[in-house]
Chain A
Amino acid sequence: MGTPDMRTAIITRLRAGLFALCLLPILALMTGCPAPTSPSPESSGAVDPSGLLVIKGSDTLLPLSQEWAQEFKKKHPNANITVTGGGTGTGIVALINGTANVANASRAIKDAEKKQAEAKGTTIMEVPVARDGITIVINPKNPIKEITLDQLKGIYTGQINNWKEIGGPDQEVVASGRDTASGTYAYFQEEVLGEEEYRQDMISNVSNNAIAQDVEKNVGGIGYIGVAYAHEFTRTGKVKEVPVAFKTGEPAILPTPENILNGKYPISRELFNYTLGLPQGITKEYLDYVTSPEGQAIVKKQGFITLK
């Protein structure tokens, strides 16, 4: 009420606020857009490995990639490398859009993504860099001893909603997974769900860490995490890993390095680095380093599985 002055002041303030409010969602869109001004992919074949290398993509590969970059920089002080996560999809999109030189991927590239690159007149080259298993983690209070691929599929597609359906306690299933940008999300969908859709009420998380937290908090929780990451959480007893069997009646297998390397563990995959065209210059030097015995030693150290 009151004086006209006060009213005008309030309305002006309101208008200003609403103006800002209109911009908010738009800013969210903008910041989500790949920035078009970042470095362009390496084109000149410089001999001296110096310059800028932008690596982006899989969160699973992130810690490994960071250590590679660190060690690589020790040998080549002129190299300037940045490594960020965001998910495999994010990395590949950045590669195609020219804002990254190397995409970290925890799944193979999709046909659609290949076509995107071809439409821009380039091809995407694939370099396997490590192997990885996907650990299935559950809450320590959950007495379930093993799980089959079919049961996992049932849980993640929404056919199984209570642990008692697969011989567990009477406890509602709370399935946690990654967001659609994650390679692990896509890989898991392809390998375990047989390309069926995830259940609509899966909690979608932006990081492995968040999945582990979900499972730690929810007695009926279940999640999937790359082995190297999972180790960090299973070691402290916050979550526990479950052996996985291909079928009912077959032995359930734990994701140990041997089991992953010899193919006994049902959910394992290759991890890749992608480049636009043949790697050259610093990109080539880096990838050579990654696949060298020295680089693979770091793979082992981090809990991933080496290529050979």
Chain B
Amino acid sequence: MSTQEQTRSESPATGPSRSGPGTIPGLSSRIDARDVDFFYGDFQALRKINISLYDRKITALIGPSGCGKSTFLRTLNRMNDLIEGTRLTGSIQLDGADIYAPQVDVADLRRRVGMVFQRPNPFPMSIFDNICYGPRIHGLKDRKILEQIVEKSLRQAALWDEVKDKLRQSALALSGGQQQRLCIARTLATEPEVILMDEPASALDPNSTHRIEELMEELKQDYTIVIVTHNMQQAARCSDFTGFFLKGELKEFGATDRIFTKPEQRETEDYIRGRFG
């Protein structure tokens, strides 16, 4: 990242009630959220969130149900725009540019900030067409290149060997774990810079979960990954940084090792020790 980015990420957060020490000095950040408030109608779901998400790192967002972690994740690619009656204040910047600025092309933003959902959601079409969906809507028509993208994405998602002989078959015929890896491959095919994962393994069996975690570890080499998870072990196992959300606030943020060994906040410790949530 450029020096400009670094200064930006190191610049102290402003605002009256700064919640959470969401920045780590000395690392280059891709996404910076500053004083983010978010409302569903009259209900305030997020309060003054300040956090930075670092390049080629995995950041895990944890917290009890309804704490706002998924909501926050979905603000990063403006997925919440699809819900009527929502409102966001504060700023979220991707590489220094405000993603909520009026001139932003939301479709392009979502191509750059890809998302993998809680439940596998392949489209009702062939495996091949699922992968090609993103490249095609972004204007790619060349058959040869599409075939290359399909193979590359499926290999990256560690699914190629399992499906290479049945690319023409319906994606719905795959198992749940395979479907989720297909969805990851589908996201990779659009060549995003950041990948958001919303509890990607919660609907999967332990074996598939394990494969997804391995996959994340590999993808980390090239991508910035943000994962929302309910599973504390998962967060501890595979993330570099962890943010703890509670009642719409970012209570604590830091290196995963430290959060899980020496949490600064009482609530964080209680949650990690399994006392609530």
Contact = CB atoms under 8 A, between A and B. Distances in A.
A–B contact (CB under 8 angstroms): yes
Interface of A: 1-2
4 contacts: A1-B123, A1-B124, A1-B172, A2-B124
Nearest to A2: B124
A7 to B, nearest CB: 10
A11 to B, nearest CB: 15
Contacts of B124: 1-2
A3 to B, nearest CB: 10
| A-B pairs, 4 with minimum CB distance | A1-B124, A2-B124, A1-B172, A1-B123
B252 to A, nearest CB: 39
Interface string B160-190: 0000000000001000000000000000000
Contacts of B172: 1
A115 B219 CA distance: 93
A283 to B, nearest CB: 70
A1 B129 CA distance: 15
A2 B124 CA distance: 7
A1 B170 CA distance: 11
Contacts of A2: 124
Nearest to A1: B124
A140 to B, nearest CB: 59
A250 B179 CA distance: 91
A242 B124 CA distance: 69
A150 to B, nearest CB: 69
A1 B172 CA distance: 9
Contacts of A1: 123-124, 172
B163 to A, nearest CB: 19
Interface in B107-132: 123-124
A1 B123 CA distance: 8
A280 to B, nearest CB: 75
B76 to A, nearest CB: 27
A227 to B, nearest CB: 68
A6 to B, nearest CB: 11
A2 B122 CA distance: 10
A178 B209 CA distance: 77
A2 B120 CA distance: 12
B162 to A, nearest CB: 22
A1 B126 CA distance: 12
Nearest to B125: A1
A226 B266 CA distance: 100
A2 B123 CA distance: 9
Nearest to B123: A1
A1 B122 CA distance: 11
B179 to A, nearest CB: 13
B172 to A, nearest CB: 7
B122 to A, nearest CB: 10
Interface in B67-114: none
B243 to A, nearest CB: 34
B183 to A, nearest CB: 15
Nearest to B172: A1
Nearest to A4: B172
A177 B172 CA distance: 60
A89 B151 CA distance: 76
A261 B134 CA distance: 87
A131 to B, nearest CB: 74
B147 to A, nearest CB: 25
B11 to A, nearest CB: 47
Interface in B7-58: none
A168 to B, nearest CB: 63
Contacts of B123: 1
B118 to A, nearest CB: 16
